[in-house]
């Protein structure tokens, strides 16, 4: 299966669709014309061999360098020569805990194991009282 990202006039990814291998060679035309979806479609791949990385909605496309770029994670981060976002301060070596970027202090803070789990855990659904 081949993957194609639709981009808008501002080169922002709107969606990513799958095309059968038989139509990969003309995937853009297949999506835009045969399926009548219109738009601009660019091939991409999960393994990053095509246009650097697999995009998702909200990623941008850099036509000059022919790469997809993920959204900027924090205002202070900058894009490096490999088109990856970098914090203004590298994660310290021998960091104790899970590194978490704190934009307010512009520094890495260590989340302990319990904090890291809490940061990543989905919000619990509120309990429902089923008494009549």
**In the predicted structure, residue 53 carries a pLDDT above the cut 90:** yes
User: Cα dihedral sign for 87, 92, 94, 96?
Assistant: negative
pLDDT band at 35; cut points 50, 70, 90:
confident
pLDDT band at 132; cut points 50, 70, 90:
low
How far is residue 112's CA from residue 96's CA, in Å, rounded to a whole number? 8
Question: Which of these, 50, 49, 30, lies nearest to 39 by C-alpha position?
Answer: 30
Q: pLDDT value at position 98?
A: 87
**In the predicted structure, residue 130 carries a pLDDT above the cut 60:** no
pLDDT band at 83; cut points 50, 70, 90:
very high
Q: pLDDT value at position 121?
A: 44
Q: pLDDT value at position 71?
A: 97
What ranges in the chain are assigned the alpha helix state H? Answer: 27-29, 113-120
Per-domain residue ranges of the chain: 2-69, 83-120
Query: Mean per-residue pLDDT for 56-82?
Result: 97
């Amino acid at each position: 299966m081949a993957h194609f990202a639709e981009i808008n006039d501002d080169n922002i990814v709107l969606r990513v669709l799958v095309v059968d291998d038989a139509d990969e060679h003309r995937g853009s035309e297949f999506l835009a014309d045969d399926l009548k979806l219109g738009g601009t479609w660019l091939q991409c791949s999960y393994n990053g061999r095509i246009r650097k990385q697999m995009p998702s909605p909200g990623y941008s496309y850099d036509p000059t360098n022919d790469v997809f770029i993920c959204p900027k994670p924090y205002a202070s981060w900058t894009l490096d020569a490999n088109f990856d976002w970098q914090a203004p301060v590298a994660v310290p070596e021998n960091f104790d805990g899970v590194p978490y970027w704190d934009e307010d202090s512009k520094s890495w803070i260590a989340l302990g194991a319990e904090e890291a789990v809490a940061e990543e855990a989905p919000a619990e659904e509120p309990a429902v009282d089923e008494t009549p």
